[in-house]
Amino acid sequence: MALRENEPVEAEAVERIAALMRRRLTGESVARIIGEREFYGSAFALNRATLEPRPETELLVDMALDVLPKGGRLLDMGTGTGCIPISVLANRADATGVATDLSAEALAAARGNAERHGVADRLDFRQGSWFGAVAAASRFNLIVSNPPYINSAVVETLSPEVRDFDPRLALDGGPDGLAPYRIIVKEAGNWLQPDGRVLVEIGRDQGEAVAALFRAAGFGPVAVHKDLNGLDRVVSAPCLTS
Ligand SMILES: C[S@@+](CC[C@H](N)C(=O)[O-])C[C@H]1O[C@@H](n2cnc3c(N)ncnc32)[C@H](O)[C@@H]1O
């Protein structure tokens, strides 16, 4: 149904719409153009340093909500817009957390999103590389991450929407796409409570490789979980002491 169809459109409005269309034609997504994207039922503001949250990452939030104990403490590394810990804390008033990113600009967006969704008083933000950003002697019930996991050589072959607009820092996982997982696997045990667990998002073809890294480091039982498309998406790795 057309509304106000007989109303003339001002020349200035036509130019504004044309400019937005030109941006879209370069491959910039509608979410980037309007500056926010919906995730787990809430809107998250984006900036040029944040990955656009993807619907498949909602599985990580569902799983975190299932396993985080009452009063639990969560660490999210590589938080981007903060979509993962903010969604968890918004649904669990008893939980607290720490969110880290190497990018100060991404953290600024995440802080704004935490305020917008009423969890800023329960979520600390820290800048730095992986566990280097976390205060010494902190311990968590749950460590989550959706790290950059695309093979460096493949990044150049991605669609323009992703390659030209999502930040490289959020995409490039090193020569085999597994570099951040090796760091997480190696160090997570030092930051987990004895009955703690790690949940990481993975690329669809990385389930076996990432699960094998956790098993070799003594985690278990390690499981690979599929998303709604039936693709491997999350590896769950409890401390063996649990
Ligand atoms: C795939 S994005 C995920 C963003 C967000 N968690 C999500 O799921 O939408 C990976 C994030 O890791 C961050 N990152 C990259 N290298 C990092 C490092 N060495 N230490 C901490 N964060 C890093 C990027 O800036 C980016 O925000």
Q: Which residue has the higher pLDDT, 1 or 146?
A: 146
Residue 171 CA, closest ligand 1 atom number: 1
CA distances from 67 to 57, 143, 171, 184 (A): 16, 11, 27, 19
User: CB of 169 closer than 6 A to ligand 1?
Assistant: yes
Residue-wise pLDDT for 198-242, tens only, equals 999 999 999 999 999 999 999 989 999 999 999 999 999 998 754
The per-residue pLDDT for 54 is 97
Q: Has residue 142 been placed in a domain?
A: yes
Residue-wise pLDDT for 21-55, tens only, equals 999 999 999 999 999 999 999 999 999 999 999 99
The per-residue pLDDT for 242 is 42
Q: Has residue 134 been placed in a domain?
A: yes
| H-assigned helices in 68-130 | 83-90, 104-116
| Closest of 56, 113, 121 to residue 86, by C-alpha | 113
Q: Has residue 3 been placed in a domain?
A: no
User: Which residues form the domain of 55?
Assistant: 12-238
- What mean pLDDT, rounded, does the chain reach? 96
Overall average pLDDT of the 134-144 stretch: 93
User: CB of 170 closer than 6 A to ligand 1?
Assistant: yes
User: CB of 61 closer than 6 A to ligand 1?
Assistant: no
- Does residue 127 sit in helix, strand or coil? strand
Partners of 100 in beta bridges: 77, 126
Question: What total of structural domains would you count in the chain?
Answer: 1
The CATH number assigned to the domain holding 100 equals 3.40.50.150
Q: Has residue 164 been placed in a domain?
A: yes
Locus of tokens 């809107």: 43
User: CB of 198 closer than 6 A to ligand 1?
Assistant: no
Q: What is the spatial distance between Cα 112 and Cα 115, in angstroms, rounded to a whole number?
A: 5
